[in-house]
């Protein structure tokens, strides 16, 4: 399925296909087939009726014109299940009038809608999983490759003492892996069957409701919850919140890279593909396209999640307006998360790092970023307040006279009397002021080296 133009920056091809009309209908057909097979196996409906229903469901999707008419019918019935069941029943009736009476037996509209959405989520999980694994592998390579690549630290967007790019990449990686683990756990909880009938008791099936649910869950490759969850949306809420945190993590990376790509900084850049990053009016530009798409998702997804959480206050056994609002919200959040993960995977796989520029930007501070180091050295002799005054004066003189911090301090008796020549000479060596940066980097890489894999029972067959 081609991505709709209006969603071209909000999804990927595979995710657009998963949430397409045809895919949704197929998921609903899978529910009805599993229902018929389970009930026939328990003797609830005739085996011949189940065969006719399954045959009708297997005969392919409905034509686009028919599905287009369903939108109007959905507005009148309050659920897309009604026009779907009407169409499926008509198809079954054309083969077996008797079997048509057993379509959707004992289920309710929310059962088919909720389970269909869960089946779509089951298909979406491996897509997200693949993108995240590519991203994690790329970040691990970047961290190892640039373990000793020194760059400016930046706090409140201002130059700070040096760090390594390897540490920065490891920080990104650890945040992604923590979020990935939470996402997998949320998927594990969310991929459950919805089957409760009219009031969530499966009264229409007598004492065979539990057995029917167990058979359907096995058939669809879903987990069976303790009870139907028509008005309890916490599992899906937790999944969307996990997506929101992950998308925020991806957005943080995108913000960092887009800032490093500014021509005034020029320390890193997205890879170049034909036509990528072009401007319609400025041929010289190399725009951070992958970061832009990711940041757009990071701005859009939280509002969608807020809408979902607002709709969780659902009354009694079945809600009026709550779950009916969810389909576009869930689809939007999953696709937003997916396009952000895919975009950052591409960015980090092709990222170029300019080590010389990083060093040059560090040198351009004329040693001012080592003011903390100088202050602490002097504080041991003079106390912190006196040391701070001396270093602040030295930084100010250096800026006015275009001198390096070490040179200015060497010319100030109040500093020179307490710091020997070798200390002043080595003051601005960044390698000597990295603290335990590499230990932190290695700890971050080791802490999440084994992400718990997604539940195989929840993977797309």
Is the domain covering 108-192+229-365+434-461 a CATH 1.10.10.1100 domain? no
Length of the chain: 461
The model carries a pTM of 0.92
Give CA–CA dist 48/163, Å, rounded: 71
Catalytic site residue from 140, 233, 318, 366: 318
217 with 223: CB under 8 angstroms? yes
Mean pLDDT of the chain: 92
Domain boundary assignment for the chain: 1-107+205-220, 108-192+229-365+434-461, 368-427
Q: What is the pLDDT of residues 11-59, one digit of tens each?
A: 999 999 999 999 999 999 999 999 999 999 999 999 999 999 999 998 7
For the cut 80, the answer to whether the pLDDT of residue 454 exceeds it is no
Give CA–CA dist 307/53, Å, rounded: 37
pLDDT for the residue numbered 461: 38
Backbone angles phi, psi at 158, to 5 degrees: -115, 155
- CATH architecture under which domain 1-107+205-220 falls: Orthogonal Bundle (1.10)
408 with 397: CB under 8 angstroms? yes
For the cut 50, the answer to whether the pLDDT of residue 460 exceeds it is no
Q: Which range is least confidently modeled, 19-33, 102-116, 305-319, 444-458? A: 444-458
Residue 2 zone, left/alpha/beta (φ > 0; ψ -120 to 50; rest): beta
Q: What is the pLDDT of residues 384-427, one digit of tens each?
A: 999 999 999 999 999 999 999 999 999 999 999 999 999 999 99
For the cut 90, the answer to whether the pLDDT of residue 439 exceeds it is yes
Q: Which range is least confidently modeled, 57-71, 200-214, 223-237, 246-260? A: 57-71
Respond yes or no: is residue 345 known to be catalytic: no
Mean pLDDT to the nearest integer, 434-449: 92
Catalytic site residue from 8, 66, 94, 279: 279
415 with 378: CB under 8 angstroms? yes
- Helix H or strand E segment including 435: none
For the cut 80, the answer to whether the pLDDT of residue 286 exceeds it is no
Q: What is the pLDDT of residues 108-128, one digit of tens each?
A: 999 999 999 999 999 999 999
Tell the residue number behind the tokens 């399954």, with chain if given: 54
Question: What confidence category does residue 66 fall into, taking pLDDT thresholds of 50, 70 and 90?
Answer: confident
- Please give the torsion angle defined by the CA atoms of residues 31, 15, 181 and 116, in that order, rounded to the nearest 10 degrees: -10
Respond yes or no: is residue 286 known to be catalytic: no
Give CA–CA dist 271/351, Å, rounded: 5
92 with 167: CB under 8 angstroms? no
């Amino acid at each position: 399925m081609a991505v709709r133009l209006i969603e071209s920056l909000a999804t990927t091809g595979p995710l657009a296909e998963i949430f397409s009309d045809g895919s949704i209908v197929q998921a609903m057909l899978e529910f009805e087939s599993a229902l018929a097979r389970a009930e026939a196996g328990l003797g609830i409906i005739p085996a011949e009726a189940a065969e006719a229903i399954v045959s009708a469901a297997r005969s392919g999707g409905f034509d686009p014109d028919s599905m287009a008419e369903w939108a109007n019918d959905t507005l009148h019935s309050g659920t897309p299940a009604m026009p779907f069941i009407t169409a499926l029943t008509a198809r079954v009736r054309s083969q077996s009038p008797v079997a048509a009476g057993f379509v959707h037996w004992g289920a309710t509209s929310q059962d088919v809608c909720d389970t269909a959405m869960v089946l779509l989520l089951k298909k979406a999980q491996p897509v997200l999983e693949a993108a995240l694994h590519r991203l994690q592998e790329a970040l691990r390579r970047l961290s190892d490759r640039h373990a000793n690549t020194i760059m400016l630290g930046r706090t409140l967007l201002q130059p700070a003492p040096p760090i390594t790019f390897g540490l920065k990449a490891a920080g990104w990686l650890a945040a992604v892996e923590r979020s990935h683990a939470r996402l997998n756990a949320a998927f594990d909880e969310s991929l459950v069957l919805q089957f409760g009938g009219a009031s969530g008791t499966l009264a229409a099936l007598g004492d065979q409701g539990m057995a029917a649910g167990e058979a359907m869950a096995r058939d669809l490759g879903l987990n069976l919850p303790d009870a139907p969850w028509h008005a309890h949306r916490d599992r899906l809420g937790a999944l969307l919140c996990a997506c929101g945190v992950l998308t925020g993590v991806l957005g943080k990376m995108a913000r960092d890279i887009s800032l490093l790509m500014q021509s005034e900084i020029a320390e890193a850049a997205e890879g170049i593909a034909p036509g990528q990053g072009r401007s319609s009016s400025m041929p010289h530009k190399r725009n951070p396209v992958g970061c832009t798409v990711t940041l757009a998702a990071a701005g859009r997804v939280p509002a969608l999640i807020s809408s979902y959480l607002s709709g969780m206050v659902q009354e009694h056994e079945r809600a009026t307006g709550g779950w009916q609002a969810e389909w576009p919200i869930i689809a939007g959040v999953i696709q937003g998360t997916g396009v952000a993960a895919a975009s950052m995977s591409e960015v980090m796989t092709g990222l170029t790092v300019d080590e010389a520029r990083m060093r040059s930007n560090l040198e351009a501070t004329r040693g001012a970023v080592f003011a903390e180091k100088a202050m602490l050295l002097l504080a041991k002799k003079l106390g912190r307040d006196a040391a701070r005054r001396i270093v602040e004066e030295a930084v100010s003189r250096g800026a006015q006279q275009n001198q390096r911090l070490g040179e200015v301090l060497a010319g100030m008796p109040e500093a020179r009397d307490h710091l020997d020549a070798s200390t002043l000479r080595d003051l601005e060596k960044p390698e000597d002021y990295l603290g335990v940066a590499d230990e932190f980097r290695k700890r971050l890489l080791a802490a999440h080296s084994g992400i718990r894999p997604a539940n195989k029972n929840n993977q797309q067959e």
